[in-house]
Structure 1
């Protein structure tokens, strides 16, 4: 369990130098006549070698990608050079044909999409009408109740204002028949 807290360097050092706790002079390598400085030098050499390997890999990958991109560019230029005269010769036929094909594909895709949308809406309406409660039906019921209450409120207000308006006219007509006139001034 103590090994789990060690770093990679500790573990590789333990495997490389199994007897670190003993005297240096007993074991000629790595601590013997060469000392600790040779170990540090070899780790520096290892990091330099690793950097060189990384650079070589990057140069190789970059160079091969550069070669592939240049081959693709050359192939595109050759294909365009060969195809340009054919496109010029057949352009009176190809352009209307491409426009027609594009319109046909667009028409089929849109009609299919509208058909799927219509089937979905009809199935939702059927489920709602048969008493099942499809997704969103509670929001529809809530909106219907709000709309109904607002409509009833507007109807009540119209009746109230209508009664006030007609009630005032009936009073004026009755006053005219009696012979008394009310004059109203407007400002």
Structure 2
């Protein structure tokens, strides 16, 4: 509390932060947009896993609904026919198996969607890095070609100058 009061008592000691601190947020939004399209393998992965994930989620929903309906239908039968334990155990076992199957299908569907999302995030993240590397390589190559061209031009100029002095030029 004392430090805060001390800071307010000296207004000339304010700290000014540059806009640079906030620049990386704007760059983050731009990096979310891909600069080139996804690769063929990524398109194939999405095309195959999207229907698989949707189908597994649909199967999870159907088995969950079927298990609940079966449990609702068989509960009164358990009460009426309580002396018959073997069929009740079978029905309970089937209901538990239905719940586990529903959970497994749902988990597999969500896992496939998660894999697709991570694959797309990885693709988007690697594009700017590859572009920066390509720019650096192009700049290095342009510098090398410029230097080499300058050297060849100087060699030609020096040979022409020597040929002009000695008079051994061919005509």
> Normalized against structure 1, the TM-score is what?
0.29
- Radius of gyration: which is bigger? 1
Which structure has the higher relative contact order (CA within 8 Å, separation 6+)? 2
